[in-house]
Amino acid sequence: MTSQSPRIYIYKITFEEVLYYYYGVKKEDYYNQEYWGSPYTHKWMWDFYTPKKKILEVFSHTDEGWEEANKVEKRIIKQFYNVDRWCLNENCGGVPSLEIKRRTGRKAKELGTGIFSLTEEEKKENSRKSGIQNRDLGVGIFSLTKEQLSEYGKIGGKRGVETQRNLKIGLFGISKENRSETAKIMNTQKWMCLETGYISNAGGLSSYQKAKGIDTSKRRRIS
């Protein structure tokens, strides 16, 4: 390979006017081929703002080099994917971003296609497979540390409680006397898991089924 040979490289696009950025990988047809990424959802930014490209790492122009470059690109992107609002990447290791999923979902709902054409059982199975895929790729929520998950959980919990308090809904829409009476009723009810036959109150059975990986809808009240 000479200094003028075509390259495979990982690059980062930034913009002079805004903080957004984009990572990608390119396999050149010839040395120094002009290339500014292949965005789809946010292509307008490349036209509206002033993009700048920085080559981060160069790989051999071979099948092995291409495979290694894609692995490194994925490791870079997943640090920011679905977490940093300034990251423009809408795909990581074949997994579409939350924004793409939202847009696709809205369109599918309008047309009655995709998930909106599935039965409830099919939706649950697809959701399970999607969760396993995100876990295996280490993207989305699975790319966060335990500390980050804990912090986001606290923030979400506080916002949820505040909203319920302001609107007087959920527990805040029930008097103390009614809450106490409801708790007593719930604790005296007995429910049975339809898969294992385990019996407990509603809350205890939910914890049991979740720990066993059993669908919590598979239950029957027995008293």
| 128 and 62 together in one domain | no
What are the C-alpha distances in Å from 66 to residues 7, 26, 70, 77? Answer: 10, 9, 6, 16
pLDDT in tens, 74-92: 888 888 877 888 888 888 7
Q: What is the pLDDT of residue 97?
A: 45
Q: Do the beta carbons of residue 212 and residue 196 sit within 8 Å?
A: yes
- Give the chain's domain count: 4
| 87 and 30 together in one domain | yes
| 182 and 105 together in one domain | no
| 48 and 59 together in one domain | yes
Residue 214 pLDDT exceeds 70: yes
| 154 and 179 together in one domain | no
Q: What is the pLDDT of residue 96?
A: 53
Say which range, 116-120, 125-129, 164-168, has the weakest mean pLDDT. 164-168
Say which range, 52-66, 82-96, 102-116, has the weakest mean pLDDT. 102-116
| 72 and 114 together in one domain | no
| 38 and 85 together in one domain | yes
Say which range, 12-21, 138-147, 166-175, has the weakest mean pLDDT. 166-175
| 67 and 77 together in one domain | yes
Provide the token pair at 159: 């916002």
| 61 and 76 together in one domain | yes
Residue 111 pLDDT exceeds 70: no
On whether residue 2 sits in a domain, the answer given is no
Please identify, among 78, 93, 108, the residue that sits at the C-terminal boundary of a domain: 93
- The angle formed by the CA atoms of residues 127, 132 and 134, to the nearest 5 degrees, is 95
Looking up tokens 């339809």 gives 194
The model's pTM is: 0.44
| 85 and 29 together in one domain | yes
Is beta strand 199-200 parallel, antiparallel or unpaired with respect to 21-27? unpaired
Domain range for 100: 96-138
- The angle formed by the CA atoms of residues 129, 130 and 136, to the nearest 5 degrees, is 90
Rounded Cα gap, residues 39 and 15, in angstroms: 14
Residue 105 pLDDT exceeds 80: no
Residue 210 pLDDT exceeds 60: yes
Rounded Cα gap, residues 57 and 73, in angstroms: 10
Query: Strands, E, within the chain: which ranges?
Result: 8-15, 21-27, 51-59, 91-92, 95-96, 191-193, 199-200, 219-221
Q: Is residue 173 within a helix (H) or strand (E), and if so which, with residue range?
A: none
